[in-house]
Amino acid sequence: TRSTRPQRLLGAVQKNATRGDPCSVIQAIDHFCRNKEWAMNVGDEKGCILDAVVSEVNPATVLELGTYCGYSTVRIARLLPPDAKLITLEFNPDFAAIARQVIAWAGLEEKVQLVEGASGDWIPRMKEQFGVKTFDLVFLDHWKDRYLPDTKLMEECGILRKGSVLLADNVICPGTPDYLEFVRNSPRYESQYFKSHLEYTKVEDGLEKSVFLG
Ligand SMILES: O=C(CSCCNC(=O)c1cc(-c2ccc(F)cc2)cc(O)c1O)c1ccc(O)c(O)c1
Ligand SMILES: [Mg+2]
C-alpha cells in the first residue's frame, strides 16, 4: 500500500540527516517540506521564533501539545539543558510512531517523553504520572479548537505557575480566535504576537506568547 506523508518525511530524515545531529534532522525536514511535500511542521521561519523563546525561558520542564512528526520536539529539545524534560502529547498513533523515530534519529530520546493520547485526558494526570509540578513552557500546536479548553484545564490543574510561558502556533492560520481573544483580554496573561508566515508558504500566520501571571 502507498506510504503516508509522515512515513515519507521520516524516510527523508533517515536518508539525508546524520544520526545524533538534531540540526541536520531539522534541515532535512525543512528541505523535504519546501521542495517535495508540504507538512504541518512549525517550519524554519516560525521555528526561529520558537528557538528564541525557548532560549529566553531556558525551561527545566516543557509540555508540547501536538507532536505530529516531532519537528518542533527536536527544535525545542536540542536547546534544553541536560536535566530538562520535554513531555509531548500526540493523539494520533501513526503520527506518534513516526515522531518517536525522528526524535531517536536526532539522538534526543533522553530528553523527550512522548505520550499517546488526548490532551484533555492527560493534562489532569501530569503531576501523578510524570512527577512534574509545573511547566515553565507550554507549546500549543494541536487541534486549534482545543487551545482554549486545554489552557483553562492547565490553570485548573495547577500545572502553570506565575511566569509560565504559553507559546501557541497557528493563531492566524488555521486560526484560534477564541484562544487569542481569551489570552489577550484576560488580566491573568501578558500576551505578545510574533507575526510570521504559515510554514513553507507566504500566507500570514504567527505565534502568540502569553505569560501566565498567576
Ligand atoms: O490534526 C490532527 C490533530 S494534531 C495536528 C494539529 N495541527 C494542525 O492541524 C495544523 C494545521 C495546519 C494547516 C493545515 C492546512 C492548511 F491549509 C493550513 C494550515 C498548520 C499547522 O501548523 C498545524 O499545526 C489530527 C488529524 C488526524 C487524526 O487522526 C488525529 O488523530 C489528529
Ligand atoms: Mg502548527
Q: How many residues does the chain have?
A: 214
Which pTM was predicted?
Answer: 0.98
Residue 193, all three cell numbers: 504576537
Q: At what angle do helices 22-35 and 5-16 cross, to 10 degrees?
A: 130
Dist. CA 201 → ligand 1 center (Å): 16
Query: pLDDT tens across 152-202, in order?
Result: 999 999 999 999 999 999 999 999 999 999 999 999 999 999 999 999 999
Among 73, 92, 146, name the best residue to mutate to test ligand 1's pocket (greatest count of ligand atoms within 8 A of Cβ).
92
The residues facing 204 across adjacent strands are 197
Answer whether 169 contacts ligand 1 (Cβ < 6 A).
Answer: yes
Q: Is the CB of 38 under 6 A from ligand 1?
A: no
Dihedral through CA 173, CA 187, CA 157, CA 176, nearest 10? -10
Atom number, ligand 1, closest to the C-alpha of residue 90: 4
How far is it, in rounded angstroms, from Cα 191 to Cα 189? 6
Dihedral of alpha carbons 129, 134, 136, 140, sign: positive
Cell 509540578 locates to 133
- Does 213 score more than 90 pLDDT? yes
Cβ proximity of 59 and 211 under 8 Å? no
User: For 109-164, what is each residue's pLDDT tens digit?
Assistant: 999 999 999 999 999 999 999 999 999 999 999 999 999 999 999 999 999 999 99
Alpha helices in the chain (DSSP H): 5-16, 22-35, 43-57, 71-77, 93-105, 119-122, 126-130, 147-157, 177-185
Tell me which ligand sits closest to the C-alpha of residue 173. 1
pLDDT 10s digits, 88-121: 999 999 999 999 999 999 999 999 999 999 999 9
Q: What distances in angstroms separate CA 166 from CA 37, 42, 116, 163, one per listed residue?
A: 29, 15, 21, 10
Ligand 1 pocket test: pick from 65, 71, 143 the residue with the most ligand atoms within 8 Å of its Cβ.
143
Asked if pLDDT for residue 1 goes beyond 90, the answer is no
Distance (angstroms) between ligand 2 centre and the Cα of 89 equals 14
ipTM for the predicted complex comes to 0.97
Ligand 1 pocket residue status of 172, Cβ below 6 Å: no
Residue type, 166: L
Q: For the segment 39-80, what is each residue's pLDDT rounded down to a tens digit?
A: 999 999 999 999 999 999 999 999 999 999 999 999 999 999
